[in-house]
């Protein structure tokens, strides 16, 4: 079933927020990244170390500092939009990715974004991702 025009426009707006997040990451522009985030954003990574699954929290402040600190290689996270779900002011986005440091492949996985439509537009309120080196495309 086709999306209605308003739903299609909202889906596109959600995708634009996520795309802007990764543009900021590539440019090392912490202000651009910050502009995509809700005030109380939460960042998590799922990690398997020593055969144990761990959920690691990342400080948004430290993440933004890392993005904005000059680094030798471009942080290039290449995503595709596999699924975007909407209900009112809530959006859920599922994006497989491959991460490169400059031209060198680093790792792959999936991102799960939760966004909320605030007065300023769609903002990322929660991100959790997986990271692995094996089984990548």
CA pair distance 86, 94, nearest whole angstrom: 12
Q: Specify the DSSP class assigned to residue 132.
A: B
pLDDT tens digit string along 37-57?
999 999 999 988 788 999 999
- Rg, Å, the chain Cα set: 15
Residue 30: is its pLDDT beyond 80? Answer: yes
74 within 8 A of 102, measured Cβ to Cβ:
yes
Q: What is the pLDDT of residues 76-117, one digit of tens each?
A: 999 999 999 999 999 999 999 999 999 999 999 999 999 999
Report the distance separating Cα 71 and Cα 53, nearest Å: 29
20 exposed, middle or buried (CB, 10 Å; 0-12, 13-18, 19+)?
middle
State both tokens at 51.
């055969």
């Amino acid at each position: 079933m086709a999306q209605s025009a308003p739903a299609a426009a909202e889906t596109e707006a959600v995708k634009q927020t996520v795309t802007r997040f990764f543009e900021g990451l590539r440019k090392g522009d912490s202000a651009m990244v910050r502009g995509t985030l809700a005030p109380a954003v939460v960042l998590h990574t799922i990690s398997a170390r020593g055969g144990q699954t761990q959920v690691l929290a990342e400080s948004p402040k430290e993440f933004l500092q890392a993005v904005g600190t000059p680094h030798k290689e471009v942080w290039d996270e290449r995503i595709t939009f596999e699924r975007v779900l909407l209900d009112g002011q809530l959006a859920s986005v599922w994006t497989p990715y491959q991460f490169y440091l400059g031209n060198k492949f680093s790792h792959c996985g999936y991102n799960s974004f939760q966004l909320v439509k605030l007065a300023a537009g769609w903002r990322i309120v929660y991100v959790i991702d997986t990271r692995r080196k094996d089984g990548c495309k």
